[in-house]
């Protein structure tokens, strides 16, 4: 074959693999992160209405003005943030495309981008695809706190970008104001750009608050922030998200965006714009998911797992050392899927060196009956 793989080290993602294993074995799938309940009926009706109204041709390249305005209103209402819908927001095909486009906009061959591990799986391949180099700084369980001195020490003359994920999947941790200050200090000192993946912005628990890079005066002009309607509206299959950045950055982002996807599904944008105007559509998510977290966490603890703190996202990490200390994370996740009928994600998949902490990730974005069924299967571990 004349094609020499550009990505010889990449295989199927851990999410695809574990979901396939769950389907093959009939296991309850708490691995890949997606809700198993319906999205709001009003949202679905909105899609139908948009289709019937004939909104079936190309949307404007940066996204439907109505949707961008609704997003700007939401930023103001939820966080007091002023964002210009004309020049600072672009609708993307999910957060994944926003991330890829931002990375492609910033990085040239030979540049370095700092990522914090455990890192969401799409960052490093997108960096490598530009001929650039991911430089990894690792965070350790159970709190996965960022050692900002280690981040500063990882900066070289070739560093262009720092990628952060706040709230963090899979760490389930969030940044404090002090974290943002530290990030801003490093970015300013070395004149770096920041890409902040904030798809879980509304899934923050125990009364804590999400702090966006967009709320930080020093980070605001040098950051791209990325969001996903998949998380906020329980519709991961729609693949609609958005990127926010200062006008000069967004103008560059759009140059690449227009040749990657040009524009994003028109009827979906109409439906999302209408739905977003209802304040209730994005409020209450934290309470809704916190209940699910607490329910699954109690079941996992009763089954013999040691819980790690879950401050945010729709994931719960657990240490399984008390159950099968002999198995590595991938082997444990496969064993649990095959033998006990519940699928999870090994956290080692988020570290380039595959380091093993005996921790797996369960997704609690599930109906009560799904969580109950998983808990009852796991009770058999005792």
Backbone dihedral angles phi then psi of residue 77, each to the nearest 5 degrees: -70, -40
State which H helix or E strand residue 69 sits in: helix 65-79
| Residue-wise DSSP of 323-348 | T-TTS-HHHHHHHHHHHHSEE-EEGG
Site mask, ligand PMP, residues 240-279, x = CB under 6 A?
A: -x--------------------------------------
Q: Are 344 and 360 in contact (CB under 8 A)?
A: yes
Taking the least distance from each CB to ligand PMP, the nearer of 197 and 329 is 197
Among the residue ranges 94-102, 281-289, 296-304, 328-336, the one whose residues contact ligand PMP (CB under 6 A) = 94-102
From the list ligand PMP, ligand GLN, none, pick the one residue 32 interacts with, judged by a Cβ distance below 5 to 8 Å according to partner type.
ligand GLN
Pick what 148 binds: ligand GLN, ligand PMP, none; C-beta below 5 to 8 Å, kind-dependent. none
Q: Does 299 bind ligand PMP (CB under 6 A)?
A: no
Which does residue 104 touch among ligand GLN, ligand PMP, none (CB within 5 to 8 A, set by kind)? none
Question: Is the separation of the CB atoms in 180 and 216 below 8 Å?
Answer: yes
- Binding to ligand PMP (CB under 6 A) within 2-61 occurs at 33
130 binds ligand GLN (CB under 6 A): no
Burial of 380 per CB tally in 10 Å (0-12, 13-18, 19+): exposed
Nearer to ligand GLN, 180 or 225 (CB): 225
C-beta closer to ligand PMP: residue 104 or 241: 241
255 vs 160: CA distance, rounded Å: 19
Scanning residues 349 to 368, which ones bind ligand PMP (CB under 6 A)? none
Sheet with 359-363, strands from edge to edge, namely 306-307, 315-319, 359-363, 345-346
In whole angstroms, how close is the CB of 224 to ligand PMP at the nearest point?
A: 13
Residues forming a β-bridge with 70: none
> 195 φ, ψ to 5°?
-115, 115
Binding positions for ligand GLN, rule: CB under 6 A:
13, 15, 32-33, 169
Positions that interact with ligand PMP (CB under 6 A): 33, 94-96, 120, 165, 169, 197, 199, 228, 230, 236, 239, 241
């Amino acid at each position: 074959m004349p094609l020499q793989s550009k990505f010889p080290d990449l295989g199927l993602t851990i999410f695809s693999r574990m979901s396939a294993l769950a389907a093959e074995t009939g296991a309850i799938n708490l691995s890949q992160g997606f809700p198993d309940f319906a999205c709001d009926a009003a949202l679905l009706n909105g899609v139908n209405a948009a289709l019937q109204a004939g909104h079936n041709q190309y949307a404007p390249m940066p996204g439907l003005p109505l949707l961008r305005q609704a997003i700007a209103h939401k930023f103001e209402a939820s966080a007091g943030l002023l964002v210009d819908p004309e020049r600072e927001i672009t609708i993307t095909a999910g957060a994944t495309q926003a991330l890829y486009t931002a990375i492609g906009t910033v990085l040239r061959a030979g540049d370095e981008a700092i990522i914090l591990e455990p890192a969401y799986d799409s960052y490093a391949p997108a960096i490598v695809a530009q001929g650039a180099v991911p430089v990894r700084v690792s965070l350790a369980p159970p709190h996965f706190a960022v050692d900002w001195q280690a981040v500063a020490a990882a900066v070289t003359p070739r560093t262009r970008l720092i990628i952060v994920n706040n709230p963090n999947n899979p760490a389930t941790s969030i940044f404090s104001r002090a974290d943002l200050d530290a990030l801003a200090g490093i970015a300013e000192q070395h004149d770096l750009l920041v890409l902040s993946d904030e798809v879980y912005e509304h899934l923050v628990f125990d009364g804590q608050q999400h702090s966006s890079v967009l709320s930080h005066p020093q980070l605001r002009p040098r950051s791209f922030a990325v969001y996903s309607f998949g998380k906020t509206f329980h519709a991961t299959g729609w693949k609609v998200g958005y990127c926010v950045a200062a006008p000069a950055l967004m103008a560059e982002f759009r140059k690449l965006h227009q040749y990657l996807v040009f524009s994003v599904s028109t009827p979906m944008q109409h439906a999302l714009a209408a739905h977003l105007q209802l304040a209730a559509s994005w409020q209450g998510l934290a309470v809704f998911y916190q209940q699910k977290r607490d329910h699954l966490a109690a079941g996992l603890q009763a089954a013999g797992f040691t819980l790690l703190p879950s401050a945010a996202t729709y994931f719960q990490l657990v240490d399984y050392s008390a159950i099968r200390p002999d198995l590595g994370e991938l082997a444990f996740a496969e064993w649990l899927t095959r033998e006990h009928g519940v699928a999870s994600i090994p956290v080692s998949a988020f570290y380039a060196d595959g380091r093993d902490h005996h921790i797996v990730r369960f997704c609690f974005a599930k109906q009560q009956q799904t969580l109950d069924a998983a808990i009852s299967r796991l009770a058999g571990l005792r």
